[in-house]
C-alpha cells in the first residue's frame, strides 16, 4: 500500500521515495512507489503531474490501495528517487476544491441543495446541484460563501474513529464503508479524498460564472482563487470595451443595450415598411401573367422575399428577385399560384455554384457565380 503524503500535508511539493515496481504500460511506464505526494485522479479532482527523478509524470491513478504513476521513462526498482509536484497546478486544484466545498456547503445549508456532480475542468469547475435555484438565491449563496472565505478560518482534514464518525453529520454523495476522511471548511463538513488549502482565506474569491437548468436541478460553472480573479478581470475588460462602443459606463450597460434594442426594433419596422412600398412598386410595374426576373439593388434577404412574392401575387406568374449578397448574388424565387419552384431552385444552384432551398411556393439562397446577365438568361429559360 502506498503511503499518501498528500492526505496528511497537501503542501508537500518535493519528496523522496523508493521505487517498488516499474513496468511497461500503455503510454509509458507504470511506476509504484512506497510513498507519494502525487494525488491520483479521483473525486472530481484531476491528478497531479510533475517529475520523478529524470522522468516526467504524465498521469496518476489508484485502485484504492496502490498508486500508479505513468512516466515517460523507466525508473530502476529499488532506487530512491526525488519527486517534484507541478505546484501551480496543485495549488489551483486546491483552490477550486476548497472553494467548491464552501459553496456546496452554503447551498446545502441555505436551500437544502445536494451536490450531485463535481469536476475540476478547464476553464471552470462544474458543479451539479439537485434542485433549481433562482438567480437571487445563487447570488445570496455566492455572497455567503465569500464571507466564509474572508473569515479566513482553518480547513480541517481528518479521519475520525468509528464511534466519532457515527455521531458526526457530514455531506456525502453516497454511503461509505470503513474509514472516512472528512474535510471541514467554512462551516461545511464533507467526506472527501482530495487536497485542500490550510485556511479558507487562501481561496481568495468564489465566483459563479454561469448557471443552467440540468436534469431536475442545475449545472453551475464556478471559478475560485486565481481563476476567479482572472474571470472577473476579463469580464470587466469586456464590459469596459462594450461601454465605449455604446457610450455608457460599466454599471449602465443594460440600460444602454435596451435603448439600442428598442432603436433597432423601430428601424426594422421602418425598413419593413419601406421594403413593402418597394415591393408594391415592383409589382405595379410587372407585366401580368409573365414570369420575370428583377434586380433589387440594396435589398436584403427579407426585402427580396417581399418583392418576389408581391410581384407573383400581382401578376400570377413566377418571379425571381436578385441582389448582391450571400456568396455573390442573393436570390428569392416565388412560384405562380399552385406552382413549384424547387426544381428551378435546384437547377439554379447547380448552374451557378449556389446554396439554398425552400418549399414549393418559395425558395431562397445565394450564388457564388455572380454574373447577373448569365443568371438572368438562365432564369428566362427555366421560369
249 domain-assigned = no
Residues 231, 272 within the same domain: no
193 found inside a domain: yes
Does 375 map to a domain? yes
- Residue 130 domain boundaries: 91-243
Does 225 lie in the same domain as 176?
Answer: yes
SS3 128: strand
Same domain, 109 and 238: yes
The confidence band for 176, taking pLDDT boundaries of 50, 70 and 90, is confident
Q: Return the H-helix or E-strand segment holding 115.
A: strand 115-120
206 and 118 in one domain?
yes
Say which CATH number the domain at 59 has.
2.40.30.130
Are residues 377 and 280 part of one domain? yes
Q: Which residues of 265-303 are buried (b: 16+ CB within 10 A; e: fewer)?
A: eeeeeeeeeebeebbeebbeebeeeebbbbebeebebeb
In three-state secondary structure terms, 336 is: coil
pLDDT at residue 370 is higher than 90: no
Grid coordinates representing 56 are 516526467
Give the chain's largest Cα–Cα span.
97
Confidence band for 1, pLDDT divided at 50, 70 and 90: confident
- Check whether residue 296 and residue 182 sit in a common domain: no
Residue 65: pLDDT band (50, 70, 90) is confident
CATH number for the domain spanning 170: value is 3.30.980.10
174 pLDDT higher than 90: no
Q: Mean per-residue pLDDT for 360-379?
A: 94
Residue after which a domain boundary falls, among 43, 58, 85: 85
- Are 95 and 72 found together in one domain? no
Residues 6+ apart with CB under 8 A from 168: 160, 182, 189
Q: Mean pLDDT over residues 102-114, rounded?
A: 97
Q: How confident is the model at residue 127 (pLDDT cuts 50, 70, 90)?
A: very high
Q: What is the mean pLDDT of residues 154-163?
A: 95
Say how far apart CA 206 and CA 199 lie, in whole Å: 14
- For range 162-175, the mean pLDDT: 90
Number of domains within the chain: 3
In a domain, 226, yes or no: yes
Looking at residue 298, what is its pLDDT?
A: 86
Q: What is the pTM of this model?
A: 0.79
- Residue 274 belongs to some domain of the structure: yes
Q: What is the DSSP string of 237-267?
A: HHHHHHHHHHT--TT-HHHHHHHHHHHHHHH
Q: What are phi and psi of 297, to 5 degrees?
A: -55, 130
Q: What percent of the chain is modeled with pLDDT above 90?
A: 91
Predicted confidence (pLDDT) per residue in 183-230, tens digit: 999 999 999 999 999 999 999 999 999 999 999 999 999 999 999 999
Domain boundary among 65, 85, 105: 85
Per the CB < 8 A criterion, the answer to whether 222 and 141 are in contact is no
Residue 178 has pLDDT above 90, yes or no: no
Residues 107 and 185 in one domain: yes
pLDDT at 339 over 90: yes
Q: Is a pLDDT exceeding 90 seen at residue 84?
A: yes
Q: What is the mean pLDDT of residues 332-338?
A: 96
Residue 251, domain member (yes or no): no
What pLDDT sits at residue 373?
92
- Please say which residue of 208, 243, 278 terminates a domain: 243
> How many other C-beta atoms lie within 10 A of the C-beta of residue 46?
20
213 to each of 128, 155, 218, 220, how far by Cα in Å?
Answer: 10, 31, 4, 9
Residue 87, C-alpha cell as written in the block: 505546484
How does the average pLDDT of the chain come out, rounded? 95
Buried-exposed string 309-346: b where 16+ CB fall within 10 A, e elsewhere: bbbbebbebbbbbbbebbbbbbbbbbbbeebebbebbe
pLDDT at 177: 81
Span 85-96, average pLDDT = 98
Whether residue 194 lies inside any domain: the answer is yes
Confidence (pLDDT) at 367? 95
With contact defined as beta carbons under 8 Å apart, do 365 and 331 qualify? yes
Does 44 reside within a domain? Answer: yes
User: Is 94's pLDDT higher than 90?
Assistant: yes
Element at 302 (helix H, strand E): helix 301-315
- Domain co-membership, 31 together with 113: no
Instruction: Report, as an integer, the average pLDDT of 80-84.
Output: 98
Instruction: Give the residue with greater pLDDT, 327 vs 196.
Output: 196
Q: Both 73 and 159 in a single domain? A: no
> Based on the domain organization, do 73 and 126 belong to the same domain?
no
Q: Classify the phi-psi angles of 366: left when phi > 0, otherwise alpha if psi is within -120 to 50, otherwise beta.
A: beta
Comparing CA positions, the residue from 255, 157, 146 lying closest to residue 200 is: 146
Same domain, 115 and 229: yes
Amino acid at each position: 500500500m502506498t503511503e499518501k503524503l498528500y492526505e496528511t500535508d497537501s503542501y508537500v511539493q518535493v519528496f523522496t521515495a523508493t521505487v517498488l515496481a516499474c513496468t511497461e504500460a500503455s503510454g509509458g511506464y507504470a511506476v509504484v512507489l512506497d510513498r507519494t505526494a502525487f494525488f491520483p485522479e479521483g473525486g472530481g479532482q484531476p491528478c497531479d503531474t510533475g517529475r520523478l527523478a529524470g522522468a516526467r509524470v504524465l498521469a496518476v491513478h489508484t485502485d484504492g490501495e496502490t498508486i500508479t504513476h505513468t512516466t515517460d521513462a523507466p525508473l530502476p526498482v529499488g532506487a530512491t528517487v526525488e519527486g517534484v509536484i507541478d505546484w501551480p497546478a496543485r495549488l489551483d486544484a486546491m483552490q477550486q476544491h476548497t472553494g467548491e466545498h464552501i459553496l456546496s456547503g452554503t447551498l446545502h445549508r441555505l436551500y437544502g441543495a445536494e451536490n450531485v456532480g463535481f469536476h475540476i475542468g478547464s476553464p471552470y469547475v462544474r458543479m451539479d446541484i439537485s434542485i433549481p435555484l433562482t438567480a437571487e438565491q445563487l447570488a445570496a449563496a455566492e455572497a455567503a460563501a465569500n464571507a466564509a472565505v474572508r473569515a479566513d478560518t482553518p480547513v480541517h482534514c481528518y479521519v475520525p474513529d468509528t464511534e466519532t464518525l457515527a455521531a458526526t453529520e457530514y455531506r456525502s454523495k453516497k454511503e461509505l464503508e470503513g474509514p472516512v476522511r472528512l474535510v471541514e471548511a467554512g462551516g461545511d463538513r464533507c467526506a472527501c479524498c482530495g487536497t485542500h488549502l490550510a485556511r479558507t482565506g487562501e481561496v481568495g474569491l468564489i465566483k459563479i460564472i454561469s448557471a443552467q437548468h440540468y436534469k431536475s436541478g442545475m449545472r453551475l460553472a464556478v471559478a475560485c482563487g486565481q481563476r476567479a480573479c482572472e474571470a472577473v478581470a476579463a469580464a470587466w475588460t469586456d464590459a469596459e470595451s462594450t461601454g465605449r462602443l455604446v457610450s455608457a459606463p460599466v454599471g449602465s450597460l443594460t440600460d444602454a443595450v435596451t435603448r439600442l434594442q428598442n432603436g433597432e426594433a423601430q428601424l426594422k419596422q421602418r425598413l419593413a415598411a419601406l421594403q413593402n412600398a418597394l415591393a408594391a412598386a415592383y409589382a405595379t410595374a410587372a407585366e401580368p401573367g409573365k414570369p420575370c426576373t428583377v434586380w433589387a439593388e440594396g435589398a436584403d434577404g427579407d426585402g427580396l422575399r417581399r418583392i418576389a412574392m408581391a410581384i407573383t401575387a400581382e401578376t400570377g406568374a413566377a418571379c425571381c428577385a436578385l441582389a448582391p449578397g450571400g456568396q455573390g448574388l442573393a436570390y428569392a424565387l416565388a412560384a405562380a399560384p399552385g406552382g413549384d419552384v424547387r426544381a428551378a431552385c435546384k437547377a439554379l444552384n447547380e448552374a451557378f455554384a449556389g446554396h439554398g432551398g425552400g418549399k414549393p411556393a418559395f425558395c431562397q439562397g445565394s450564388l457564388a457565380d455572380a454574373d447577373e446577365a448569365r443568371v438572368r438568361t438562365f432564369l428566362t429559360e427555366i421560369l
